[in-house]
């Protein structure tokens, strides 16, 4: 049978639940839970898919429901997002992906989404979905390949937000100097916004504004928002920052005195070696050794 006819015939079309996109979402959400970053129903992920990536799968071509969103996402109309559900536990997504995740399309009106797959128990996208969409809009302006937004609760990054001034330069330089990988993975640094109520459009707007300059934005006393071109890149971005925060926390537990450090010149040498341009406003500053 002609391959095009196979794709049009549900009998020959693979199920979307078996797609690499759902498989990857299951793997990432399980990893986030196992790291201890997504307790209970904490955290959420959205993954932009292209129409041609979805076209050959069955069960994704009819609108199951139309769901309102409290944000005007007209700038993204027609785009497809695989997104985790509100109130869903990340430890369960791998076992119940059709219940705890959904594939939605931003509707023409911009104020709702068409559910094409998933949320088969009546669920809906994460309550942070408007914040995700605001970030997708901003990051697509910076990078046309932007695909993923990930929110989670990394323990050591959150702990740092209780004990340090909430300044992007301070956090960026500390995380850069905790390990050689940091400045290579996020040379622009990390954005830090003031504490704001989660689940509101206000925190979404503040995050999106910061995303014009950063791919990582810290929500003090709460968690982090990360953005990237792929699931692996975004997960690795957060993982690298959290490892640096763990090293900082360990140093503090050992007494907090720096005898040695990665110097500013070391940072510049790293950037030259890997042909990257660091945030010029952050690359020079005070030493950690007092």
Residues with a known catalytic role: 128
Distance CA 208, CA 138 (A): 6
Rounded CA gap, 278 and 241, in Å?
15
CA distance to 114, 130, 200, per residue, from 66 (Å) = 5, 16, 21
Residues 6+ apart with CB under 8 A from 120: 98, 99
For 203-241, letters b (16+ CB in 10 Å) and e give: bbbbbbebbeebbbbbbbebbbbbbbbebebbbebbbbb
As a three-state string, the secondary structure of 80-126 is EEEEEECCCCHHHHCCCHHHHEEEEEECCCCCEEEEEEECCCCCCEC
- Dihedral angle of Cα 218, 223, 229, 232, to the nearest 10 degrees: 130
Per the CB < 8 A criterion, the answer to whether 126 and 132 are in contact is: yes
Give the orientation angle of helix 201-210 with respect to helix 129-142, to 10 degrees: 20
Quick count: other Cβ atoms within 10 Å of Cβ 119?
23
Which tokens hold the place of 235? 């997960």
CA angle 267, 186, 167 (to 5 degrees): 85
């Amino acid at each position: 049978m002609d391959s095009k006819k196979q794709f049009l015939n549900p009998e020959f079309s693979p199920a979307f639940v078996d797609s690499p996109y759902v498989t990857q979402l299951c793997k990432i959400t399980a990893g986030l839970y196992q790291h201890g970053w997504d307790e209970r129903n904490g955290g959420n992920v959205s993954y932009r898919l292209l129409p041609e990536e979805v076209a050959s799968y069955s069960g994704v071509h009819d609108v199951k429901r139309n769901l309102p969103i409290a944000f005007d996402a007209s700038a993204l109309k027609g785009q497809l997002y695989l997104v985790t559900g509100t109130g869903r536990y990340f430890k369960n997504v791998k076992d119940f992906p059709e219940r705890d995740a959904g594939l939605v399309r931003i509707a023409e009106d911009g104020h709702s989404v068409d559910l094409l797959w998933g949320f088969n128990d009546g669920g809906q996208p994460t309550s942070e979905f408007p914040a995700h969409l605001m970030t997708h809009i901003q990051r697509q302006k910076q990078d046309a390949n932007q695909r993923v937004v990930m929110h989670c609760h990394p323990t050591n990054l959150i702990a740092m937000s209780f004990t340090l001034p909430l300044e992007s330069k301070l956090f960026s330089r500390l995380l850069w100097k905790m390990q050689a990988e940091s400045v290579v993975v996020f040379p622009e640094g990390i954005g830090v916004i003031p504490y704001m109520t989660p689940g509101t459009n206000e925190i979404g707007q503040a995050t999106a504004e910061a995303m014009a300059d950063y791919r990582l934005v810290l929500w003090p006393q709460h968690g982090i928002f990360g953005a990237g071109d792929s699931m692996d890149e975004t997960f690795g971005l957060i993982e690298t920052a959290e490892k640096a925060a763990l090293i900082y926390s360990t140093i503090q537990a050992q007494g907090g005195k720096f005898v040695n450090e990665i110097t500013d010149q070391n940072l510049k040498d790293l950037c030259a070696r890997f042909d990257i341009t660091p945030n010029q406003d952050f690359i020079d500053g005070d030493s950690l050794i007092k």
